[in-house]
Structures are given as C-alpha cells and as structure tokens.
Amino acid sequence: MSAVCALRSRCFPRQVLLGLPAAMHRSYSLDVSAPLLRTQGYVDGRWVSAASVFPVLDPATGQEIARVADCGPAEAKQAVDAAYKAFHSWKQYTAKERSVLLRKWFDLLTLHKDDLAKLITFECGKPLRESLGEIAYSASFLEWFSEEARRVYGDIVPSPVKDRKILLLKQPVGVASVITPWNFPSAMITRKVGAALAAGCTVVVKPAEDTPLSALALAELAEQAGIPAGVFNVVPCSRETTPSVGQVLCTDPLVAKISFTGSTATGKVLLKMAADTVKKASMELGGHAPFIVFDSADVDKAVAGAMASKFRNSGQTCVCSNRFLVQSRIYDRFIDELGRAMDAELRLGHGSEPETTQGPLINTRAAEKVVHQISDAVSRGAKVLRGGKRLHGSFMEPTLLADVTAEMLCTKEETFGPLLPVIRFNTEEEALAIANASNVGLAGYFYSQDVSQIWRVAEALEVGIVGVNEGLLSTPEATFGGVKQSGLGREGSKYGIEEYLDVKYMCFGGLKP
C-alpha cells in the first residue's frame, strides 16, 4: 500500500504551541511540491512500499506530517543487491561522466532549495534560515565532489630494477552503507554520498527515523539528474526496525564500506558488526567541544563566536561548543556581554516563523537530558543567569550557567541542546588540561590575539578540527573528522574521496631495458 499521508494536498495542519511567543499560537502547514514529498523507499530506481509505515512528526508541535514506508531487512537486502549489481556498471563510467551527473544533482538541489529547506524545518525543527543554509551546504558537497571525481590520481613509482614499472592505481571499494543522523538530514548524506559516487562506489542510505523526508527528496532529485538505477538507494525505517536494517547493512558480504555519523556508543556497535567481514569504515561520532577565551582575546568577537557555535540548530550539532572556559581577568565581562547577546538575538518559535532563531529540540528525550544537566549543575553550585526552563513539548530555553566546575555533568558529557556552561580558569595549562580531559575529540575553539599562544594551543588541543578566533568551521574544502573516540577517517576536502578508494599495486615486468 502507498505510504502517503491521507491528506493528498501535502499540507498538514498544526496545533498551536502553548507557553511560547504569541506568534506561535496559530496553525503551521508543510506545503512543498508533490514530487519532493516522497514517502516510499527508493531501491534500484523504483519507489517501493513496505508492509507497514511509521509516522514522521514535526518536533515543534508533535503533529504527524507524513507516514513513511517502514523498510525492513528484506528491503535492505534488496537495496544492497541492487547497489552491488549497479556497481559493476557505475565503476566503468568515466570520471567526467560521473562528474557531470553529480553536477546536475547539485543544480537540482539549488533549484529546489526552498522546498528542500521546508522539509528540513518541519521534520527537524530547524529555523528556516538555517535550513536554507543547510541546503546550500548540502549542495556544496555535490559540487565539490563533482570536481574531485576528475582528480583521483594514481602514482608511477620509480622502480629499483630496469625491467619493470611500478604503478599504484586507485579503484572504488564497492557498495557503501551510509547511515546518517537527524540533525543535518540533507548535508550528512551528500557529504558521504558525493564522495562515494565520485569515486565510483554505489550506496545504500539509511536515514534517521526522525528525518527520512529529506533523504527521499534527495533520491527524487538524483533520479531527475540521471543517476542510474541502483547507484543511490534509500531505505527509511522506524526506530523499532533500525537494528535489523542496520544488521544487514553492516554484515552483508556484498557491502564493502560503512560510513556512519552518530553517537560514539552506536558507532562502536556498528564497528563490531562490520568486523566479521572486515569492512572499511568511516565513523564521525560524538563531540564535546571546548571553547576557550584567553585574556588576550577580542571579547566582542569571542561572544559572537560563542553565539554562532553554541546556538546553531539549538545546540544540536556535533561540533557545537559544549564547555566554555574563560580566563579570570575577562570572565565577568564575557559573561555579561554573552547574556546581553542572548537576550537580543535569540527567539524561540516554530522554524517556519521568520523571526525564529531557536526551534525545538528533536524530541522530549533531548529536552529531558538538558533539564537533567541543568539540575545537576545547580545542585553543585552553578548559577542560572539566563533561561533554565523547559517549555512546551521539546522546546528548551537557551540557558547560561556561571560558576560551573569540571565535576558537573554538563562538562563530562555531550549536551546536544542550548545549554552554555562557563568555567573560570587561570592559566593556559589549566585550560588545556580541562579541554583535553575527554575521551572524544572532534572540534575545539579558542580566542586569543597572542600569536605564540595560538600556535601552542592549536597544536596541543586533542581534536580533529580547531577554530582559532572563529566559531563556524564547516566547509567542503576542508577535512571533517575527529580523534580519540570521535571517530575514524575524514569527510570533505580532497581526502574525503580517499575513504571510498582502494590502492592497487601493479607491477609491470618483463620489459626490455
């Protein structure tokens, strides 16, 4: 049966939101062009139904916006088989042919950016302005890897003997399973899939159960761009079905590679499953980013950077600053200016409202986690200077905590919410000790105008990404990935495509000198 919601107009009424600004007290509707609101799986170039469906909810209202095919292990296996079959022809496409198709896909994302952004806002809760930014970011990976497809170079190595030549060839690894999160439901797909397809691999995507609509819209546009059947497959599924689908995608012998973005705990489970067939793996896992402000910093710029890094997507990004460390001499000034910036710039509401800067958290569990961290901090002596309350549903007030110590829960685990705890420190050595006292290391930020200190701290921070006097880092031209338990491998940049390539050594012997 079709998984389309009963309301064929593609417009779904919303309940009003209590306890939020007056502008929220009205109905909201998702209105996008019908071809982009897909609710079936996409396997081997066909839209496929499943035995059951699962609801997709607007996190701002809790109301259902669509019912999507709940694909299971059978559909996942069909997708893997289709990708494996398609791989044998796709890898024979020239680099230029793959490049042209990826560029067409990029053009279509850009053309349909408004509708694609609406899908993100309604299934993820992100403010529309940020959703438009994500679509531009998502499209940029297709553009970047359409160009990188033609730059996969091998090597000719000088031989130690005269009768042979040594060649190192780069070849696609095969079928890649791509498992993505809800917080960037479009960009996390294109960052992986753009590289995979450019290299000559085929993919099966399992999007997060909260945000399958963006993935399915990408499939629709891939088809329009002329991406061949079986090259790009999408198997949406519910939270209940996810373990069995993940089992297929991580253990099937036809899958050569897995790429996952999500929690460290889940990444470890997937790595264990992939180990039996020794699959190549890329893991972009949890973060716990420090944000350090030294006495020499430009405080105004540091406050602006803190606002951008902490409150983008209501604090729900893997590179979001989680622990704020401010040196003693400027601590009070920083706290004061930051509080005033929060008052002036942050507005809670439904993401479709133009003035909204802070949408809901993805679900009530996320809000409960933030509340728990605030309660723990307050019980240990922290002071709430702004916010601190949970509102309707999964909305959470942006919260500023002072007098935070390294013993508090919010400094020990990733928050994924709009909580900004500030720790006072005295010396550079003390700040680095606190910053590096974590088993993860994705991103780190610091503000300083001391050039010698900048080099020392940038090299000493145990992270894969460092922002120096900058709070927003991500770009397709640069690497994205962490150290410690924040993952394996790198995405984006010229190195991202290497994750989908094998190096083959060819010895050409018997040559006459």
| Contact residues for 123 (Cβ-Cβ < 8 A; gap 6+) | 56, 57, 58, 59, 65, 185, 210, 211, 212, 213, 214
Q: How distant, in Å, are the alpha carbons of 23, 306, 314, 353 from that of 418?
A: 21, 12, 5, 19
CA pair distance 363, 247, nearest whole angstrom: 25
Catalytic residue among 123, 284, 353, 397: 284
Q: Which sign does the torsion angle of CA 132, 136, 142, 146 carry?
A: positive
CA pair distance 76, 356, nearest whole angstrom: 38
Q: How distant, in Å, are the alpha carbons of 206, 323, 378, 414 from that of 383?
A: 42, 15, 6, 20
Residue 467 tokens read as 């922002």
CA pair distance 184, 6, nearest whole angstrom: 27
CA pair distance 60, 411, nearest whole angstrom: 28
CA pair distance 497, 336, nearest whole angstrom: 45
Catalytic residue among 237, 318, 320, 410: 318
One-letter amino acid at 130 equals E
CB atoms within 10 A of CB 341: 17
Residue 318 annotated as catalytic: yes
Residue 320 annotated as catalytic: no
Cβ(129)–Cβ(158) below 8 Å: no
Cβ(127)–Cβ(358) below 8 Å: yes
CA pair distance 352, 74, nearest whole angstrom: 37
The residues that are catalytic are: 284, 318
